Amino acid sequence: MFHYRRKRIAAFILAVAICISSSAVVSAKAAGTAGEVNADSVSLRSGPSTKDTVLARFNKGTPVTLVKKENDWYKITVEKKTGYMRADFITAKTKATSLKLESEGDDVKKLQTSLKNLGLLTGRVDGRYGPMTEKAVLGFQKKNNLVQDGIAGPKVQELLYAKAAPSTTTALRLGDSGQEVVKLQNALKAAGFYTGPANGKLGPLTLAALKKFQEKKKLKVDGIAGPEVRNMLYGTSSSSTSSSTKTVSSNTKAVSADQVKPTAGPDPKKVELLNWYDIRNVIVAKGKPIDVFDIKTGLNYQVRSFANGNHADVEPITALDTATMLRTYGGKWSWEPRSVWITINGRTIASAINGMPHGGQTIKDNNMNGQVCLHFLGSNVHNGNKDYAQKFQNYVMEAANAAKR
């Protein structure tokens, strides 16, 4: 009996030792690793608990250094401060691994796609690093005065992806293919003009969608996606925005939003996460003013819904509201959603809004040519784009989580 108990005690000690060792390995892996904050207004605390003092708040994209992990928290250093942040609000950055002959997987597909977009790869994008991929890498290395070993190391990948990044300076026509066409198709799909697959081939379906977009925006209907068309679709502008003054102008007087000051916004404790189909036309009623608080910038503006279908189709009420909304987007309209808290009928609700004017409108003097989309928990898009619908839901949840920090 004594011998049996001694064996059990030894096994228990061994298990504890393994747990301690595993914990040490996790901490060792975390130590010195670079990362970034993946949400807005995330608290840095004095200890690994929500009861500990808030030292500062940081927004999405802020770089951090991971010191160690303690349960659901990371001890980090950020902007000369050391403290604790919840692990689910930090994305650890991993260095690119070298790709070479016989490598397989999504990383190889990404490499092949970029090589193909640069005209260096003639074979298929199949996720297998074979002789043709190696030859394309050698061609890229030679063209850029790099060591010609046929291995796509971190430096090769970084330069390759930078050079293969989509550009809005060239025109896309019928018959073109590649990553830039994928981006075009996704933008047309998000705008409700394209229902086909984002396959990177500018064929008849994409051409028809492109012409519909040009007709809607009163552009030359030629089916060519030049800089003007793509700037409108992607929400970029060729004009300079170096000034801190963001203005909106149309056939009405130009309006500046510089006089609008950030605020603390609604009480986070009152923010609710409500399903769209429970509040549609009940709380969020058509024609009623909606106060919008942009969580990241702290700016406030008002919109009004004129259609409540799969989501709320809204438009800024005044030209100043439009200018303020544009300011939250850094002076450039974009399809990318933003997390917001909206207040209507005394209720504050976690929401997400995009910033690309499109479709119809009812207010003619607000300096916005079209409407934008306001989403809630469980809402959907009009065109069946599941990825874009999910993106809205992610931003809605980010808005809800921001109220808990």
Among candidate residues 199, 112, 105, 111, the one with its CA nearest the CA of residue 158: 111
**What's residue 30's pLDDT?**
46
Supply φ then ψ for residue 207, to 5 degrees.
Answer: -60, -45
Predicted TM-score (pTM) of this structure: 0.45
**89: DSSP letter:** G
Residue-level length of the chain: 405
**What's residue 234's pLDDT?**
62
Residue with the two structure tokens 């549609």: 280
Residue with the two structure tokens 């396959």: 199
Among candidate residues 54, 388, 56, 404, the one with its CA nearest the CA of residue 192: 388
The gap between the terminal CA atoms of the chain, to the nearest Å, is: 54
CATH architecture of the domain with range 106-163: Orthogonal Bundle (1.10)
> Hey, is 394 helix, strand or coil?
helix
Question: pLDDT tens digits for the chain (405 residues)?
Answer: 555 555 565 555 555 444 444 444 334 344 567 888 877 667 888 998 877 888 888 887 888 998 888 887 889 999 889 999 888 788 877 666 889 999 988 889 889 988 887 778 887 888 899 999 999 999 999 988 999 999 999 889 888 887 765 554 468 888 888 777 887 887 788 777 888 888 888 899 999 999 998 888 778 899 998 877 776 776 433 333 333 334 444 444 555 667 678 888 899 999 999 999 899 888 898 888 999 999 999 999 999 998 898 999 999 998 888 989 999 998 889 999 999 999 998 899 999 999 999 888 888 888 888 899 999 999 998 777 888 899 999 999 999 999 887
**What's residue 172's pLDDT?**
86
**What's residue 237's pLDDT?**
35
The DSSP annotation for 174-233 comes to: TT-BSHHHHHHHHHHHHTTS--S---SB--HHHHHHHHHHHHHTT---SS-B-HHHHHHH
**What's residue 15's pLDDT?**
53
Q: Which CATH number fits domain 179-234: 3.10.25.10, 1.10.760.10, 1.10.101.10, 1.10.10.10?
A: 1.10.101.10
Residues 127 and 148: their CA atoms lie apart, in Å, by: 22
- For 190-228, b where at least 16 C-beta lie within 10 A, e where not — what string? bbbbbeeebebbbeebbbebbbbbbeebeeeeebbbbee
Domains 106-163 and 179-234 share a fold: yes
Among candidate residues 72, 47, 43, the one with its CA nearest the CA of residue 58: 43
The one-letter code for the residue type at 198 is: A
Domain ranges (residues) in the chain: 22-92, 106-163, 179-234, 247-402
Residues 376 and 332: their CA atoms lie apart, in Å, by: 24
Burial of 151 (0-12, 13-18, 19+ CB in 10 A): middle
Instruction: Report the DSSP beta bridge partners of residue 90.
Output: 37
> Hey, is 63 helix, strand or coil?
strand
- For 66-75, b where at least 16 C-beta lie within 10 A, e where not — what string? bbbbbeebbb
Q: Which fold has domain 22-92?
A: SH3 type barrels. (2.30.30)
Are 100 and 151 within 8 A, CB to CB? yes
